[in-house]
Chains A and B, each alone.
Chain A
Amino acid sequence: MIGPRSWVARRLLLGVAQTAAVVLLVFSLTEALPGDAAVALAGDQPDPERIAAIREAMHLDRPAYERLADWASGLLHGDFGTSLASGRPVSSYIADGFGPTVLLAVLTMVLLVPAGVGLGVLAAGHEGRFVDRLVSSVTLGVYAVPEFAFGVLLVTVFALRLGWLPPTAVGYGTDLLDHPAALVLPVLVLLSRPVCSLARLVRAGMIDALASPYVAQARRYGISGFRIRYAHALPNAIAPCAQQLARTVDWLLCGVIVVEALYVIPGLGTVLINAVAERDVPVVQGLAVVFGLTAVVLNLGADLVVHRLAPRAGVAA
């Protein structure tokens, strides 16, 4: 018999193992990339002497296992190493990019949950009727539009044509909260697809739950429709959404590159893009570890939440 305690312990252990695997994978994958940082940095001046000097300055002449050992032991102490390109600590890159990314993620989630759940419940409540069909078709339509296209459309209409909102957050740096208007469009773009998928999931879950035997039984007991809908059906309908929400948060926290590039938001996605372009391997590795860790933690969290909301999922697993 496995108690809930040991289930949590096993789940946590699995998380640790996943993290270690992430670290190893990140290092070996970056090593396996063709070309090397020195060549990329020399660019259109591939003077062999210059390349050799860059390579030496970056310690690329040391064997890979030595660099892995140094790096992994540093990670244990929270030391992500230093950037090849600037000599600044990688942790400062991550810290700088984290603020804007977290801000966007939090704003998006705060709006996403009520909007998605609300739309889903609304549609389920009018199943088969006009409201349901309207919500269903609009969410399907918006879901089909990729972020970059939606983003460009919003900029063109609301920033350039109507002039209501600033087209980008250029020059605002990390103090985005001082410029709330610049956040409206990026948050809208980030919301667009998750809201649709969440609404559709909730709608399906609600319809299922409302058609289930326990709801029928509850109705026979004479429990009010409101209570049935929100206290009994909804938690069951939301349970499957927890994983979906975790994936959305993960997607948001890893820096949505398209949105950051289009609106010039200096978040983690931008840090990643720049580091990749510059072959700044320590920064890429540090970010990959952070992203890997985020995914592990969020999935862990989602599993625990599902476990709480609908214990049968844990039993099934």
Chain B
Amino acid sequence: MNDVPDVSVNNSRFPGLRRRGFLAAAGGAAGLGALALAGCAGSGTAADPAKGDGKPKRGGRLRAAFAGGGASETLDPHLANLFADAARAKALFDKLADYGPDLSAQPRLASAWEPNAGMDRWKVTLRKAAFHDGKPVTAQDVLYSYRRIVDPAKAFRAKASLEPIDLKASRALDERTIEFVLKRPTAEFPNVLGAFGAYIVPEGLKDFDKKPIGSGPFRFVSFAPGESAVFKRNDAYWDGAPYLDELEFVVANEESARANALLGGQVEYAHELNPATARAYENKGQIQIVRLRNSAMQGFVMKTDRPPFDDKRVREAFFLLADRKELLDGALSGAGEIGNDLFGKGYEYYAGSLPQREQDLDRARKLLKEAGAEKLKVTLDTSPVAAGFTEAAAIFRDQAAKAGVRIEIRTGSKDSYWKDILDSGTLASYRSGAMPIESHISQRLLTGSTTNATHWRHKDFDALYQQAQSTKDKKDRAAVYERMQRRLHAEGGFLIWGFADWILGTAHSVRGVERKAPANSLDWARFDKVWLA
């Protein structure tokens, strides 16, 4: 069923709404012990009866500190690139859909979507919503926004995600209904509607920095690039007016500055803290630490089309070399969970039934011997482009040495790293933010994928993907995804050893911050459901 029409269904698909209230109560009165527990368990176990201040309260200004992009920052939501951009865009604008805690598409401005039998034409109905200037959000606005994103003269990030849509043939059926014509069957089309940066702006709007008009929960007040953006409550918001009167985003690029500002009471919310900071303050009671699980995949990519990794026994041996716990503790200070060589732990369609892979040096040695790759020497490309990369590389080198594999680490330039490892080298450090498993496959694991860093190109695998995309029934589709993941788990090119937490800090007065919200999902950096006690 792809039809998700009304609000009540919407709410039942948001189990987070109830948990949010509960967690806030636990954080509010139970004190530090319960708070720490809730932080660790993610959903919390200790019920706290003192719900006195668990009820949302209106008013106040929340200041949120993010790392920013300096004086080049813009409020154009289609140019969003940094977390700060995405958070500001989310406050001012809406997408047709967005990702829930399991990265499944949740309806936002779209109230319903219905495919034809061939899954290549989708009728999307808009809910009744208005832009900040009072004009209704119409099908024309949606088409304008999407056409602006795919403009070949621009390099908007969401362009690649909207690629399946034939926007020339797509049209408005009426004021609030759009028919999207797709280039091929796409059962997971709602994922496209929730793509990073695919925001809906009013038709014709071009100047975003002086007077951005969106349909989002907050209205624009002022913006100083690289310093601060002030927004105020949109009382007419379709999803309920926010509790906060005002929301201010401030920019502090240094992690220590964000932490100090939070500790010193200059901001109430600090995005992206280090594991060390989190540990130092987790039980001290000065601030609350929020860990967003499964936010960033961590691993290595093996090029499956060239020696030594064109032999699947070598790939399996490398899977078995990794001591995932040690990598997690060493490279991420333990702030995360171990991986099972599959993307998207905990997300929709994740093949959680596959056995957790453990380090097995004897079997790795045996596989390498069978493959004629004893005394193997491999170069591992890495770069300080993401937290923990160089540390993980050094740890993995030492782990591999125990099975007689010599890994030489080559540290590359930060600027060109992602391009460098796309086609050259054999083994490289890799990370990825949260996205639906289907997006991971279509962007990285098909013959025609533009960022296929493992050079995984198999016609039969492509065919399975197409089959999934033409399968209307969700259960059947899940079975196909499971088959694909089974194969990737056995012989794929992604050695995924962990998933990093995304760490936030908030003042004690801040309530309603969703904890089950991987970075980039709907509830991450979402301030319309947050209140100050």
Q: Residues of A at under 8 Å CB distance from B?
A: 34-36, 39-51, 53-54, 57, 83, 85-86, 88, 92-93, 96-97, 152, 155, 159-160, 163, 166-168, 170-171, 173-174, 261-264, 266, 270-271, 273-275, 277-280, 283
Task: Please indicate the chain A residues that have their CB under 8 angstroms from the CB of B72 in the complex.
Answer: 83, 85-86, 88, 274-275, 278, 280
Q: Which 7 A-B residue pairings sit nearest by Cβ, starting from the closest?
A: A274-B70, A167-B264, A85-B72, A35-B416, A171-B250, A86-B72, A167-B260
- Which residue of B153, B226, B248, B256 is within 8 Å of A53 (Cβ)? B153
Contact assessment for A34 and B413 in the assembled complex, using a CB-CB cutoff below 8 Å? yes
5 A–B contact pairs at CB < 8 A? A85-B69, A92-B71, A167-B260, A170-B261, A271-B71
- B residues 177-230 near A (Cβ < 8 Å) are 224-228
Q: Does B475 contact A (CB under 8 A)?
A: no
- Which residue of B69, B248, B419, B431 is within 8 Å of A274 (Cβ)? B69
Contact assessment for A34 and B152 in the assembled complex, using a CB-CB cutoff below 8 Å? no
Contact assessment for A152 and B256 in the assembled complex, using a CB-CB cutoff below 8 Å? yes
Complex formed: what's the CA distance from A36 to B256 in Å? 30
Q: Does B340 contact A (CB under 8 A)?
A: no
Task: Please indicate the chain B residues that have their CB under 8 angstroms from the CB of A262 in the complex.
Answer: 254, 256-257
Contact assessment for B253 and A273 in the assembled complex, using a CB-CB cutoff below 8 Å? yes
Task: Please indicate the chain A residues that have their CB under 8 angstroms from the CB of B256 in the complex.
Answer: 152, 262
Task: Please indicate the chain B residues that have their CB under 8 angstroms from the CB of A167 in the complex.
Answer: 257, 260-261, 263-264, 266
Smallest Cβ-Cβ distance to A93: which chain B residue: B71
Task: Please indicate the chain A residues that have their CB under 8 angstroms from the CB of B264 in the complex.
Answer: 159-160, 163, 166-168
- Which residue of B81, B248, B419 is within 8 Å of A171 (Cβ)? B248
Chain B 263-304 interface mask (CB, 8 Å, partner A; 1/0): 110110000000000000000000000000000000000000
Smallest Cβ-Cβ distance to B419: which chain A residue: A46
Smallest Cβ-Cβ distance to A49: which chain B residue: B450
Complex formed: what's the CA distance from A280 to B451 in Å? 24
Complex formed: what's the CA distance from A155 to B154 in Å? 44
- Which residue of B154, B261, B413, B451 is within 8 Å of A46 (Cβ)? B451
Task: Please indicate the chain B residues that have their CB under 8 angstroms from the CB of A274 in the complex.
Answer: 69-72, 226, 253
Contact assessment for B418 and A42 in the assembled complex, using a CB-CB cutoff below 8 Å? yes
A43-B418, A159-B260, A167-B260 provided; 13 other pairs, C-beta below 8 A? A48-B450, A54-B155, A160-B260, A166-B266, A167-B261, A167-B266, A170-B65, A170-B258, A170-B261, A262-B256, A273-B70, A274-B226, A278-B70
Contact assessment for B157 and A45 in the assembled complex, using a CB-CB cutoff below 8 Å? yes
Smallest Cβ-Cβ distance to A263: which chain B residue: B257
Q: Does B469 contact A (CB under 8 A)?
A: no
Smallest Cβ-Cβ distance to B431: which chain A residue: A44
Chain B 396-417 interface mask (CB, 8 Å, partner A; 1/0): 0000000000000000010110
Contact assessment for B250 and A170 in the assembled complex, using a CB-CB cutoff below 8 Å? yes
Contact assessment for A35 and B228 in the assembled complex, using a CB-CB cutoff below 8 Å? no
Complex formed: what's the CA distance from A271 to B254 in Å? 14
Complex formed: what's the CA distance from A271 to B261 in Å? 20
Task: Please indicate the chain B residues that have their CB under 8 angstroms from the CB of A155 in the complex.
Answer: 260
Task: Please indicate the chain B residues that have their CB under 8 angstroms from the CB of A46 in the complex.
Answer: 418-419, 422, 451
Smallest Cβ-Cβ distance to B430: which chain A residue: A44
Complex formed: what's the CA distance from A42 to B224 in Å? 25
Smallest Cβ-Cβ distance to B449: which chain A residue: A47
- Which residue of A166, A170, A270 is within 8 Å of B70 (Cβ)? A270
Task: Please indicate the chain A residues that have their CB under 8 angstroms from the CB of B248 in the complex.
Answer: 171
Contact assessment for B257 and A171 in the assembled complex, using a CB-CB cutoff below 8 Å? no
Task: Please indicate the chain B residues that have their CB under 8 angstroms from the CB of A44 in the complex.
Answer: 418, 431-432
Contact assessment for B227 and A266 in the assembled complex, using a CB-CB cutoff below 8 Å? yes
Chain B 124-166 interface mask (CB, 8 Å, partner A; 1/0): 0000000000000000000000000000111101011000000
Task: Please indicate the chain A residues that have their CB under 8 angstroms from the CB of B468 in the complex.
Answer: none
Contact assessment for B227 and A174 in the assembled complex, using a CB-CB cutoff below 8 Å? yes
Q: How far is the CB of A78 from chain B (nearest CB, A)?
A: 19
Q: How far is the CB of A153 from chain B (nearest CB, A)?
A: 12
Complex formed: what's the CA distance from A225 to B250 in Å? 56
- Which residue of A47, A85, A86, A174 is within 8 Å of B450 (Cβ)? A47
Task: Please indicate the chain A residues that have their CB under 8 angstroms from the CB of B252 in the complex.
Answer: 168, 170, 264
Contact assessment for B416 and A34 in the assembled complex, using a CB-CB cutoff below 8 Å? yes
Contact assessment for A171 and B63 in the assembled complex, using a CB-CB cutoff below 8 Å? yes
- Which residue of A43, A93, A152, A261 is within 8 Å of B253 (Cβ)? A261
Q: Does B106 contact A (CB under 8 A)?
A: no
Q: Does B471 contact A (CB under 8 A)?
A: no
Most buried by B among A54, A93, A171, A273: A171
Q: Does B74 contact A (CB under 8 A)?
A: yes
Complex formed: what's the CA distance from A277 to B72 in Å? 11
Given the interface pairs A40-B415, A48-B450, A50-B159, the reply to whether A168 lies near B152 with Cβ below 8 Å is no
Given the interface pairs A50-B160, A159-B260, A160-B260, the reply to whether A171 lies near B418 with Cβ below 8 Å is no
Contact assessment for B415 and A279 in the assembled complex, using a CB-CB cutoff below 8 Å? yes
- B residues 283-332 near A (Cβ < 8 Å) are none
Contact assessment for A170 and B267 in the assembled complex, using a CB-CB cutoff below 8 Å? yes
